[in-house]
Amino acid sequence: MREEAKTPAPEVAGRRLPRHIAIIMDGNGRWAAERGMARALGHKAGVEAVRRCVRMVAKRGIPYLTLFSFSSENWIRPQSEIADLFSLLRRFIRKDLAELHQEGVRIRIIGRRDKVPDDIVRMLDEAEALTRDNTAFNLIIAFNYGGRAEIADAARRAAQAVERGEISSKDIDEARLEGFLDTAGVPDPDLLLRTSGEARISNFLLWQCAYSEFVFLPVYWPDFDEKALDDALNEYAARDRRFGGVEARA
């Protein structure tokens, strides 16, 4: 991965690539149900899909990948399922962190840390600290994340900066507020994918996806593979991105 995860040219093999892909990983439970399996096994298969996805995206020279792993609304799920998800996260970090670090992956976690078990918060902090100086590939994990909450938090941080006298309220424009978001310094996603066939963004990156291209794939997340990724990339390459203007822009 280290040698392949380079900033892409505007076109690779005749195909325009996004710089940043964001993915709503949906369908683990339905994948398991259709096979007569427990939902926990669907989530386990979903973790394997995460491993594949990181490598597939990096191999194509796309430097940023954001994965929606746990929504702030997911707390309403059964406690047993939440416990299974947290257990899988613990195992993923313990098993994969060293390898990701060795391959030059920088990990960044976005989302609130409240309500998250202390041991997981420590693991997330460790993953960020260990990989902070890596430059080969950027993996952003949205955990206990909600887009509206992120914007509200950014507004509160801006207000606190005004109270401390660091900025004036007159200084707050879109660019300034963007600097208070969890994703400050990360380019907006060019392409938002959602698996499972559902066609909504579920409170994910509401600010950042203002001009993202959306592609909704009919495959469940555990079945996400090279073909599914390339289907999405081909559809993205065929889009005219005008950003409110008349002529297409890269």
Radius of gyration for the alpha carbons in the chain, expressed in angstroms and rounded = 18
Instruction: Name the β-bridge partners of 141.
Output: 67, 109
Residue 79: φ, ψ to 5°: -60, -35
Which member of 74, 96, 153, 231 is catalytic? 74
Closest Cα to residue 54, out of 44, 65, 70?
A: 65
First-last CA distance in the chain: 25
Instruction: Name the β-bridge partners of 237.
Output: none
Is there a catalytic annotation at residue 74?
yes
Is there a catalytic annotation at residue 234?
no
Q: Find tokens 């005004």 and name the residue.
A: 162
Instruction: Name the β-bridge partners of 138.
Output: 64, 106
Instruction: Name the β-bridge partners of 214.
Output: 192
Give the separation between CA 121 and CA 113, rounded to whole angstroms. 7
Residues 6+ apart with CB under 8 A from 186: 20, 64, 66, 108, 138, 140
Which member of 26, 84, 188, 190 is catalytic? 26
Give the separation between CA 45 and CA 104, rounded to whole angstroms. 25
Q: Which residues are catalytically annotated?
A: 26, 74
